[in-house]
Structure 1
Amino acid sequence: MLAAVVDSPGRLADVLAVREVAGPPAPGAGEVVVRMVASTVHPSDEVTVSGAYGTRTSFPLVPGFDGVGVIEAVGPGVPAAALGRRVLPLGSAGAWQQYKRLDHSWCVPVPDDLPDDVACFAYINPLTAVTMVERFCRPGVRAVVVTAATSVIGGHLAELLTARGVAPIGVVRGTPGRTVAEPSRWRAVIRTDEPGWRERLRALTGPRGIDVAYDCVGGEVGADMCALTSGDGVFVHYGLLSGRPLPARCFTGPGGPRVELFRLRDTVHGDGRRHLPELFAPVFEQLRRGLLRTAVSRRVGLSALAEHLQAPAAGHGSGKILIEPQR
């Protein structure tokens, strides 16, 4: 079968190769083989390939955390009715290959009314957004700030917060050609490349400060968000797009907000596999209603993935690429 393989850590476009590898062996007890139908590329894939998670990443590696497929073979102990079922095969990377072998308990059934090009994006961004809003945006919250507001997950957060009557303030780098999705959902959008942006943000949030900050940038921008968050507010840190960690003062300064380090992996692995369908139920409902959708900028066959990632324009523009593993 075809698989996208990384033999050693590095920059994704430099180290990824698509090649023929041995197909998965017959599934063992409790296992299934899933024929991958669609998958995509996320910043989390790039971070993993870089070697940042050295203690839990081994090479060679087939990347890909988000994808949808069809169960094509079942091992002993797996109900025969599972054959032919569309699922999200979770629990590990490996979506960038034509077949993935895994324990059946990691397979989340996908509702029949969700197309493949919707279901394949259900995990990383929508589940993160739904979980963080449910967990940290309590009644009475008004001043909410979202960094990297032009990102897909920034748009998801704005969509969910608006439904709760909260218009968030977006913080962006001011990258040319990048704008927030649905500007009407945002109370304001502040560019960190403009002078006086901190003062403008402080004026918008008022003397109380930020009630909830959702930060996936880290570094000094994340530290600024943390400093502007109310002492009884919540600073939620869930990504590191800047490549720089939060300064130590975010965790040790007196009178600061509660700092929550949100990792989707902890939620999925910590809740136990029996609760996976329950975790995804609100996500599927939102997707069914046409919400939390991810635009597809281009469809790429697995065989052309490495070439696409090496192209100068790869990863730019609106939407994400959809990988079709079977071509």
Structure 2
Amino acid sequence: MDNLALRYGRFGEPGSVLQPDMSSPGPLMPGCLRVQMLFSPVNASDIIPITGAYRHRTPLPTVAGYEGVGVVIDAPEEAVHLLGKRVLPLRGQGTWQRYVDCPLSMAIPVPDDIHSHLAARAYINPLAAQLMLTHYPSAGKRVLLTAAGSDCAILLGQWARRLGAETVYGIHRSAIHADRLAALGIIPISQNETATIRAIAAQSDRVYDATGGRLAEEILNAMPEEGVFICYGILSGQPFRQQHARPRVEWFHIRNYLDTLSVEEWQAAFRQIWSRLRTSHYSEATLFPLTEWQAALTFYREAGRFSKPLLSMGL
């Protein structure tokens, strides 16, 4: 059984440092599942560690990728009922490979009615959106989203509205996102409409920001003092400065919450995610064979895309 994996042994631009590697999986460790992967997405959270942004907690060499879906092909005696079933093999090995071993307790069973293209993307963005709305509730609040065309913001906006947000505005960079946002009940604002952004920010109770940089600073300077600014990404690549003590700035990193979840809470979180995803709009998927990973990275960088690149692991 040969395993094709995308590994990197140094940090840098993903197209340069990722290297296809063919090897045979070793013996399955006790308490683990072996999963034959079906699909794995390309997310910002996959790309950024490769560049070295988190080098202090990224041991090398390693396999890229944090989420995906596959079929269990080997399991310990207590989990033989999972053989042939789809799971999300999470918090174990990197997922940009054909075979992944993961701890049994961290594997998430996939309901039969959930399509594999959706299941492959049910971890990073849905869990982040769910946790942010739990810790920084939106009920009765006026909400502003940046990078509103992104998968995480699309879920944040939909779920904030369901949870009782008074209004939800979404700042988008490409005009192609405006109609989709409006159809979801998210009021679209172009990133170029500086005066409008300031006016909306001045009335916003919650800002969920994935952009950072100058846009974050403009919003912070306009927000009311009692507002809360939640930063969960810096897609601009630029940090921002908070010039005043208020409004309150909260930094959200999903990894800070994972170790606080018991196994029962971890599994329960995904039962809630499945329930929410069934009735949510999410981007479509564009498939790329694992051997065409460079094309998938190029597609990921395209501005204004509606579709999420998925690596297809088919043998």
Q: TM-score, normalised by structure 2?
A: 0.90
Structure 1: segments with no counterpart, 5+ residues: none
Q: Is the 2:198–2:218 contact (alpha carbons within 8 Å) kept by the matching residues of 1?
A: no
Whole-angstrom distance in 1 between the partners of 2:160 and 2:284: 20
Q: Does 1:104 align with 2:132?
A: no
3-state SS in 1 of match to 2:63? coil
For 1:170, the equivalent position in structure 2 comes to: 170
For 2:222, the equivalent position in structure 1 comes to: 228
For 1:320, the equivalent position in structure 2 comes to: 308
Q: Is the 1:172–1:192 contact (alpha carbons within 8 Å) kept by the matching residues of 2?
A: yes
Q: Does 1:160 align with 2:163?
A: no
Whole-angstrom distance in 2 between the partners of 1:314 and 1:82: 33
For 1:95, the equivalent position in structure 2 comes to: 95
Whole-angstrom distance in 2 between the partners of 1:165 and 1:215: 17
3-state SS in 1 of match to 2:218? helix
Q: Is the 2:36–2:99 contact (alpha carbons within 8 Å) kept by the matching residues of 1?
A: yes
- Alpha carbons of structure 1 residues 225 and 202: separation in structure 2 relative to 1, 3 Å: closer
Structure 2: segments with no counterpart, 5+ residues: none
Q: TM-score, normalised by structure 1?
A: 0.87
Q: Is the 1:74–1:82 contact (alpha carbons within 8 Å) kept by the matching residues of 2?
A: yes
**Superposition map of 1:36-115 within 5 A:** 36-75=37-76, 78-92=78-92, 94-115=94-115
For 2:12, the equivalent position in structure 1 comes to: 10
Q: Is the 2:169–2:188 contact (alpha carbons within 8 Å) kept by the matching residues of 1?
A: yes
Amino acid paired to 2:111? P
1:247-306 deviation per Cα after TM superposition (whole angstroms, max 9, x unaligned) = 2x35xx33x0222111112222321333211111221001223x142311x211112213
For 1:302, the equivalent position in structure 2 comes to: 290
3-state SS in 2 of match to 1:69? strand
3-state SS in 2 of match to 1:323? strand
Q: Does 1:216 align with 2:210?
A: yes
Identity of aligned residues (%): 29
Q: Is the 2:228–2:250 contact (alpha carbons within 8 Å) kept by the matching residues of 1?
A: yes
Q: CA deviation at 1:106?
A: 1.3
Q: CA deviation at 1:84?
A: 2.5
Q: Does 1:268 align with 2:258?
A: yes
Q: CA deviation at 1:230?
A: 2.4
